[in-house]
Structures are given as C-alpha cells and as structure tokens.
Amino acid sequence: MKRNFKEWINTFRDSIADYNYYINFEKVYSNIDNIKIELNILNSLIGSNNIDEEFEKLIKKYPETLKCIPLLLAVRSSEIYAIDSEGAWNYNFKKQNLPISQYKIFMKKTGLFDLMKNHIINNLVDYATGVETGLDSNGRKNRGGHLMENLIESFIKKYGFKKNINYFKEMYIHQISDKWNIDLSKISNHGKTEKRFDFIIKTSNMIYGIETNFYRSGGSKLNETARSYKTLALEADEINGFTFVWFTDGKGWMSARNNLEETFDIMQHIYNINDLENGIITDIFK
C-alpha cells in the first residue's frame, strides 16, 4: 500500500529532547568537586577590606587555587590571553607563569576582585556551580546530535535486538563487507568512498544499513541529505542481501519537503518517529 507523503510529514516532531538533554548535572557536580577545596580557600577573600594583600598571601600559600579562576569567568581553558593599552599578557592558571602582582591586575581588571570584595556573591562554590551549569548548556548541541541515534537504538533494543550480536553501531562499509563477505562496491563507488552507517541490523537473510537524523531547523544541508540518501537507496537496491533504511524526523524538513518527497517516492524504507511508535521495526527487520 502506497503511503501518503503529506500525511507522513505532518506527523513530524518539533523536538526530541529527552530529560538529560538540558543539563548534565552529574558532569557539573563532578567538575565542581574537582576544585571544591580550592574554591573554599578563595571564599576567604569574600568581603575582604584588603583584598589585594590577602590575595597575594593566599596565592603564595596555596598556589593551586589559581586553577579555579578561569571558571569564575566562565572559561574552560587554563590559559587566558588579555590585552589593553598597558600591554598583552598570557596568563597560565594551571602553572603560574607571571608574578603574583600581574595576577592581581588580572583580578582587578576582570572585575573578580569587585565580585568578591563587595559581597556580590556569598559563596564561590555556589557561584561556580551556576557557572558550570551555564557552560554545560552549551553542550546541548553535542547532546542533540545523538538524540535521534539514542532514540532509534532504544526502539531497536525494545524489539529484542542485542548489541554486537544482531545489531551494531557505527560500522563502515569495509567492516560490513569483511564481516559478512558481501560486496558493497555499488554504494562505495567501487571502494573509493568509505561510508559509515549509524546502525547495522543483521537478520538470517538480510543486512540492514541504517541512517538516522533529526532536523529542528531548515537549511541547504537538508536538500543535499535528501538527494544523497535517494542515490544511496537506488544503489542499495542493486545489492542482494543488503537494504538501506532511513529514520528521519523534525520540522526542519518543512523547508525542504520537495526534495524529501522525491526521496520518499522512490525509497521503500524511509520512516519517522511516528512509524517507530506504531511498531514499524517488526515489519522491516525480518
């Protein structure tokens, strides 16, 4: 039965963010624990009336506290470069490379002395936890890139497939060819290109190469993706014992729906999340 493209694309989702997408608190807490002692030592400077002198004494006695300072500015690197009309400096906070007097200048000019001296904050551990939380939110793009893969894998497992037994993650064409002695030259330009599939499912009579993606927003990349997967599907159709399957979703496809429809019209195994929820896996992998 031929599927209706309009009905199919209308079931695409706005988002697939899971509960762990927003903030990885385990990572946040771990990063803070690594510098918690040093942060508590620096807490002695909060509200200080003579912060210049006390900072110098503190660094002389506890030089390891320097490593906390970049985080207070929401910087991951242990080195910070700064320049103004008075000169340019590359500060190393992992291993002191400048006189303490220069680090005092850094603390003044970045506003960190003011932050601590004037009780704008009460506890550097709490403050640093907030900074880490903000920095971790920048990691959403990386986490988002794996959301669709993780979702597809959860459905694969749900229907009884076992990792490294009858389903495999991130396999290259040459690995598939070597493992099951199958000629995939038609989809590798006769060995000139090395494609990697997100998943491989192996049943008793078929090898399934699976690609997954989710697009929240549009762009020229979507048109290219649709065209390349259309070509891949046509090439795969010529290989006995191999089937290409594409799981995709996301409202971003609305801006490239014409190209997606062209692929949909010629590709038998193209599915979305709604299809997965309706049990399509049991119909495909036999």
Inside any domain, residue 26: no
Does one domain contain both 153 and 124? no
Does one domain contain both 253 and 212? yes
Does one domain contain both 145 and 131? no
Inside any domain, residue 228: yes
Residue range of the domain that includes 224: 5-11+140-284
Residue after which a domain boundary falls, among 137, 168, 201: 137
- What's the whole-number average pLDDT of the chain? 93
Please give the Cα distance from 115 to 47 (Å, whole number): 9
What is residue 146's predicted lDDT score, i.e. its pLDDT?
81
Inside any domain, residue 18: no
What is residue 191's predicted lDDT score, i.e. its pLDDT?
57
Does one domain contain both 166 and 93? no
What is residue 145's predicted lDDT score, i.e. its pLDDT?
63
Does one domain contain both 68 and 125? yes
Asked if 235 and 243 touch (Cβ cutoff 8 Å), the reply is no
Q: How far is CA 100 from CA 54, 60, 115, 141, 191, in A?
A: 12, 8, 19, 38, 59
Inside any domain, residue 229: yes
Does one domain contain both 262 and 190? yes
What is residue 45's predicted lDDT score, i.e. its pLDDT?
96
Domain tally, the chain: 2
Q: What are phi and psi of 202, to 5 degrees?
A: -115, 120
Inside any domain, residue 158: yes
Query: Which residue, 218, 186, 235, is CA-closest to 12?
Result: 218
Does one domain contain both 58 and 168? no
What is residue 216's predicted lDDT score, i.e. its pLDDT?
87
Residue after which a domain boundary falls, among 114, 137, 160: 137
Does one domain contain both 144 and 279? yes
Helix (H) or strand (E) holding 116: helix 112-117
pLDDT per position in the chain (286 positions), as tens?
A: 689 999 999 999 999 887 888 888 999 999 999 999 999 999 999 999 999 999 999 999 999 999 999 999 999 999 999 999 989 999 999 999 999 999 999 999 999 999 999 988 999 999 999 999 999 887 776 666 688 999 999 999 999 999 999 999 999 999 999 999 999 999 976 556 788 999 999 999 999 999 999 998 888 889 999 999 999 999 999 999 999 999 999 999 999 999 999 999 999 999 999 999 999 999 999 8
DSSP letter string, 20-85: TSS--HHHHHHHHHTTHHHHHHHGGGTT-SSHHHHHHHHHHH-GGGGGGHHHHTT--SSEEEEEET
Q: Return the CATH number at 186.
A: 3.40.1350
Inside any domain, residue 23: no
Does one domain contain both 153 and 196? yes
Inside any domain, residue 262: yes
Does one domain contain both 167 and 235? yes
Does one domain contain both 146 and 100? no
Inside any domain, residue 90: yes
Residue after which a domain boundary falls, among 94, 109, 137: 137
Does one domain contain both 262 and 208? yes
For the four alpha carbons of 53, 56, 58 and 61, in that order, the dihedral sign comes to: negative
